[in-house]
Amino acid sequence: MTQLIIMAAYLGLLLVLGAIAHRFFSGTAKDYFLASHSIGPVFLLMSIFGTTMTAFALVGSTGEAFRTGIGVYGMLASWSGLMHVAVFFFVGIRLWAIGKRFGFVTQVQYFRDRFESNTLGLVLFPVLVALVIPYLLTGLLGAQAVVGSLTRGAFPQAFASTQGGLPPWMSGLVICGVVLTYVFFGGMRAAAWANTLQTCVFMVAGLIAFWAISSSLGGLEAATRKVLESHPERLIRGEAISQWQFLSYGLIPLSVGMFPHVFQHWLTARSASAFRLTIVAHPIFILLVWAPCVLIGVWATSAVMPDGSLIVPQGSPPNTELAIMVQKLTSPALGGLLGAGILAAIMSSLDSQFFCLGTMFTNDIVVHYFGEDRFDDRRRVLLARCFIVGIVAVAYALSLANPRSVFTLGIWCFSGFAGLFPLICASIYWRRVTSAGAYASILVTGLVWVLLFRQSGYGVNGGFLFLGMMPVATMFVCSLVALVGVSLLTAAPSAATMNRYFPSRRASAASLPALTAPGD
Amino acid sequence: MTKRKLIYFALVVLAFIHQDFWFWDNPTLLCGFLPIGLAYHAFYSLLAALVWLLALKYAWPADIETFAEGDSDYPETPVE
C-alpha cells in the first residue's frame, strides 16, 4: 500500500503541474504546440533527456546487464552520450533555426517544404506514425506491468486474479488519464514541465536505489566480489557481445534525429544557446542513470539472501531484476519511489509521443489538406486536443489487447528511425539532395526493414545480427546509397528552394522569399 | 588546422576509441569494485562531455540566432 500511495502522490503532482502550465497558456496554436519557443536551458535539457530515455534506462539496463554483463553500458549508454549529442549539435540546433525561421511545427511540414513535395509528406507520415506507435505501446505496457507488480498484495480481495495488484486495464486507464489531462490542458509547455519533474524523479530514484542496494549487499566491494566468485564473465565483455555488434550499435542512437517528438521538443527552445546545457550535460546524465543500474544488474547475478538462495531466482521474468532487488533489499517506501521513477521514465516519453501524434494529425493532415485559412488558432488547438484524446483512446484500447509482441519491436523501431537519419542530415547539409532521392531513401529503408524483420522471425530472435552486425547498419547503408545515388541521377532542386535553405553568403536577407509561418 | 577542425578531429578520435578492444577481456577491478571495462566507458562519457564543451566554445555556429530570426544567411561561421 505504501508503494501505491507514493505513486499516487507522484501522479497527483503531475496533474498540479499540468494545471499550473494551463494558467500560462496564451491560447495561440504556437503556444500550444511549441510553448511559444520559450523553453530555457534547464527545462530543455530535462525535457529532451526525459524524452530520449525510456523505462529501458532503468529496468532494461539492469536486465541487460544481468544477462550479458557490463558491456551493455558501452554498447547502449556511452555510444548515446556521443551520438545523441552529435545529433543535437549538428542537426537539432540547425532544425531549430530552420523551424523558427520558417514557422514549422512538424517534421513533415519541413520535409514537404525542403523537398518541394506534398506527396513526400504523405509517404513519410504513415511511416513515422507506424514507427512511433509500437514504441509508445511498449511504454504503456511496461507501465502497466510495473504498477501491477509493485502494488501486488494491496487489494487481495478486489483483484484476486492479479494477486491483489492493480490490473492492467485500471493502471493503464490512470496513466493515460493523467498524461491526457496535463497534455490536453497545458500543451507542449505542460509536457516540458512534466518531463523536467519526471527526469528528476527517475534520476533520484535510480541513485537512491543504487545506494540502498549496495549498502544491503555489504558495500560496493563485497557486492562485486560475489560476482567475481560466481559470474566473473559478467565483469568483462568476453563473448557476450561481438566486436561488430558493439561497433554497429553506435548507429542506433542516430534514431533521435528522426524522432518526430524530439523534433518538436527542439523547436520549443527559446534560443540556440538554450541547447548548450543539453550538449554538455546529456552524456553526464546518461552516466548517472545507466552506470548504477548496470552495476545493480551485474550484482543481481550473484547476490544471495542470508539463507543462501539467489535474490533474483533463475527463471524470473526479464527486466524484473531491479524491482526484485529493491523489493527484497530495501523498504516499501523506496519501492514506491522506484515505482514512481519507472513511471516517470515511461511517462516522460509517452506524453511527448501522444502530443506529437496529435500535432501531426492536426497540422500535416487536416490543416494541410483542408486549408490553413479555414483554421484559426482556437480551432487548431481544439482539433489537436480532439486528436490527442483519440490517440490516447486508441493506444489504451490497443494496450488492452495485451500485444506482448510489441516488446520485440522496440529495437526495430529505433533501427527504422536510424535508417532514415541520412535523409534529415542530407536535407540540412547537402544542397543537391532531391525529392526522388528522399523517396528512394524512405522506400529502401522500409524494404530492408521488412526483409530483415522477416528474417529475424518477426523480432522473435532478439539477438538477430545480419553480416555479424546490428540490422540498423544494413538499413543505414542502403538508405544512404539510395539517397545519394538517386539524388545524383535526378534533377537538382529548384533555385528557389536552394536559395531558401542555402542562401548565398553574400545575398542580403531582403533577397530571401517572404514566408508565411504555418503556426503563426 | 583551425580550432573548429581540431574539434571535429577530436570527435572522430572519440568515436574510434569507443571500441576499446584493449579492455575487452580485462578482469581488473578499480577501487576493488569497478570493472575496468565499465570504468573506461564511464570515463568516456565524461570525456565526451568535455569534448562537447570545447565544441561549444570553438565550433558553435555563431550566427545561428540571427538566421533563426530571419535576418541572416545560413549559419556556417564558427566562433574562432
Residue A505's pLDDT is what?
A: 53
Instruction: Return d(Cα A110, Cα A107) in angstroms, integer.
Output: 5
Residue A481's pLDDT is what?
A: 97
Give the residue, B13 or B79, on which the prediction is more confident.
B13
Instruction: Return d(Cα A512, Cα B6) in angstroms, integer.
Output: 33
Q: Taking CB atoms and an 8 Å cutoff, what residues of chain B touch A77?
A: 41, 45
Q: Which of B38, B47, B58, B63 to mutate to test the interface with A (most CBs of A within 10 A)?
A: B38
Q: Which secondary-structure segment (H or E) carries A359? A: helix A332-360
Give the distance from residue A141's alpha carbon to the nearest chain B alpha carbon, in angstroms.
Answer: 31
Instruction: State the residue range of the domain holding A458.
Output: 2-504
C-alpha cell at position A486: 538517386
In chain A the first and final C-alpha atoms are separated, in Å, by: 49
Q: A79 and chain B: CB distance < 8 Å anywhere?
A: yes
Instruction: Read off the pLDDT of residues B34-65 as tens digits, 9 standing for 90 and up.
Output: 999 999 999 999 999 999 999 999 999 888 88
Contact across the interface for A235 and B61, Cβ inside 8 Å: no
Residue A168's pLDDT is what?
A: 85
How many residues are listed for chain B in this entry?
Answer: 80
Distance of CA A517 to the CA centre of its chain: 28
Q: Is A511 contained in some domain?
A: no
- Measured in degrees and rounded to the nearest 5, phi and psi for residue A214 equal -65, -35
Q: Which of A236, A239, A275 to mutate to test the interface with B (most CBs of B within 10 A)?
A: A236
Contact across the interface for B37 and A237, Cβ inside 8 Å: yes
The per-residue DSSP string of A61-119 comes to: HHHHHHHH-THHIIIIIIHHHHHHHHHIIIIIHHHHHHHHHHT--SHHHHHHHHTT-HH
C-alpha cell at position A168: 492492467
Q: A283 and chain B: CB distance < 8 Å anywhere?
A: yes
Q: Is A43 contained in some domain?
A: yes
Do A391 and A129 meet the contact criterion of CB atoms below 8 Å apart?
Answer: no
Residue B73's pLDDT is what?
A: 52
Which residue reads 483483484 in cell numbers?
A: A159
Give me the mean pLDDT over the A231-237 stretch: 90
Give the distance from residue A118's alpha carbon to the nearest chain B alpha carbon, in angstroms.
Answer: 24
The C-alpha torsion from A426 through A427 and A433 to A438, rounded to 10°, is 100
Q: B54 and chain A: CB distance < 8 Å anywhere?
A: no
Using CA coordinates, name the residue in chain B closest to A223.
B33
Instruction: Return d(Cα B72, Cα A443) in angstroms, integer.
Output: 36
Which residue reads 560475489 in cell numbers?
A: A226
Instruction: Return d(Cα A266, Cα A264) in angstroms, integer.
Output: 5
Residue A165's pLDDT is what?
A: 80
Q: Taking CB atoms and an 8 Å cutoff, what residues of chain A touch B67?
A: 97, 101
Give me the mean pLDDT over the A74-100 stretch: 93
Cβ neighbours of B22 (radius 10 Å): 11
Q: Taking CB atoms and an 8 Å cutoff, what residues of chain B touch A282?
A: 49
Percent of chain A with pLDDT over 90: 35
Q: Which of A71, A271, A287 sits opposite B65 (nearest CB)?
A: A271
Residue A327's pLDDT is what?
A: 79
Q: Is A331 contained in some domain?
A: yes
Do B11 and A250 meet the contact criterion of CB atoms below 8 Å apart?
Answer: no
Percent of chain B with pLDDT over 70: 86
Q: What total of structural domains would you count in chain A?
A: 1
Neighbouring residues of A209: CB distance < 8 A, sequence distance ≥ 6? A292, A296, A322, A325, A326, A330, A334, A337, A338, A341
Instruction: Read off the pLDDT of residues A128-174 as tens digits, 9 standing for 90 and up.
Output: 988 888 888 888 887 777 777 777 777 888 888 878 888 888 888 98
Query: How many contacts (CB atoms, under 8 Å) link A and B?
Result: 142
Instruction: Read off the pLDDT of residues A389-424 as tens digits, 9 standing for 90 and up.
Output: 998 898 888 888 766 565 567 788 889 999 999 999
Give the distance from residue B12's alpha carbon to the nearest chain A alpha carbon, in angstroms.
Answer: 10
Q: Taking CB atoms and an 8 Å cutoff, what residues of chain B touch A281?
A: 49
Contacts 24+ apart (CB under 8 A), A144-148: A144/A168, A144/A171, A144/A172, A144/A175, A144/A399, A146/A55, A146/A59, A146/A323, A146/A339, A146/A342, A146/A343, A146/A346, A147/A7, A147/A171, A147/A174, A147/A175, A147/A339, A147/A343
Contact across the interface for B68 and A295, Cβ inside 8 Å: no
User: Ramachandran region of residue A376, left (φ > 0), alpha (ψ -120 to 50) or beta?
Assistant: beta
Contact across the interface for A223 and B18, Cβ inside 8 Å: no
Distance of CA A261 to the CA centre of its chain: 8
Q: B55 and chain A: CB distance < 8 Å anywhere?
A: yes
* CATH code (residue A324): 1.20.1730.10
Q: B70 and chain A: CB distance < 8 Å anywhere?
A: yes
Neighbouring residues of A434: CB distance < 8 A, sequence distance ≥ 6? A115, A486, A487, A490, A491, A492, A493
Residue A515's pLDDT is what?
A: 32
- Whether A91 has a pLDDT exceeding 50, the answer reads yes
Which range is least confidently modeled, A15-24, A56-65, A86-95? Answer: A56-65
Do A344 and A253 meet the contact criterion of CB atoms below 8 Å apart?
Answer: no
Q: Which of A97, A284, A298 sits opposite B49 (nearest CB)?
A: A284
Q: B31 and chain A: CB distance < 8 Å anywhere?
A: yes
C-alpha cell at position A234: 559478467
Do A134 and A406 meet the contact criterion of CB atoms below 8 Å apart?
Answer: yes
- Whether B80 has a pLDDT exceeding 50, the answer reads no
Give the distance from residue A151's alpha carbon to the nearest chain B alpha carbon, in angstroms.
Answer: 34
Using CA coordinates, name the residue in chain B closest to A248.
B19
Strand partners, A310: A304
Which residue reads 548504477 in cell numbers?
A: A292
Instruction: Return d(Cα A143, Cα A347) in angstroms, integer.
Output: 8
Instruction: Read off the pLDDT of residues A341-388 as tens digits, 9 standing for 90 and up.
Output: 888 888 888 888 888 988 988 888 888 888 878 888 888 888 889 988
Give me the mean pLDDT over the A83-98 stretch: 94
How many CA atoms lie within 13 Å of B2's alpha carbon, on the beta-carbon side?
11
Neighbouring residues of A463: CB distance < 8 A, sequence distance ≥ 6? none
Q: Is A518 contained in some domain?
A: no
Instruction: Return d(Cα A392, Cα A181) in angstroms, integer.
Output: 11
- Whether A510 has a pLDDT exceeding 60, the answer reads no
- Whether A313 has a pLDDT exceeding 60, the answer reads yes
Residue type, A234: R
Q: Which of B18, B64, B69 sits opposite A78 (nearest CB)?
A: B18
Q: Is A516 contained in some domain?
A: no
Q: Is A514 contained in some domain?
A: no
Q: Which of A86, A93, A250 sits opposite B64 (nearest CB)?
A: A93
Contact across the interface for B48 and A283, Cβ inside 8 Å: yes
Residue A404's pLDDT is what?
A: 58
Give the residue, A220 or A332, on which the prediction is more confident.
A220
Residue type, A275: F
Q: Taking CB atoms and an 8 Å cutoff, what residues of chain B touch A93?
A: 61, 64
Residue A374's pLDDT is what?
A: 83
Q: Which secondary-structure segment (H or E) carries B30? A: strand B29-30
Tell which residue, A82, A414, A69, has the closest CA to residue A241. A69
Q: B16 and chain A: CB distance < 8 Å anywhere?
A: no
Q: Taking CB atoms and an 8 Å cutoff, what residues of chain A touch B9?
A: none
Q: Taking CB atoms and an 8 Å cutoff, what residues of chain B touch A94?
A: 61, 64, 75
Give the model's confidence band at A508: pLDDT under 50 very low, under 70 low, under 90 confident, else very high. Answer: very low
Neighbouring residues of B72: CB distance < 8 A, sequence distance ≥ 6? A509, B63, B66
How many residues are listed for chain A in this entry?
Answer: 520
User: Helix (H, G, I), strand (E, B), or coil: what is residue A200?
Assistant: helix
Instruction: Return d(Cα A476, Cα A416) in angstroms, integer.
Output: 9
Q: Is A411 contained in some domain?
A: yes
C-alpha cell at position A148: 501491477
Mean residue pLDDT across chain A: 86
Q: Is A131 contained in some domain?
A: yes
Instruction: Read off the pLDDT of residues A453-467 as tens digits, 9 standing for 90 and up.
Output: 999 887 777 778 888
Instruction: Read off the pLDDT of residues A429-446 as tens digits, 9 standing for 90 and up.
Output: 999 999 999 999 999 999
Contact across the interface for A81 and B32, Cβ inside 8 Å: no
Tell which residue, A196, A178, A182, A185, has the closest CA to residue A39. A196
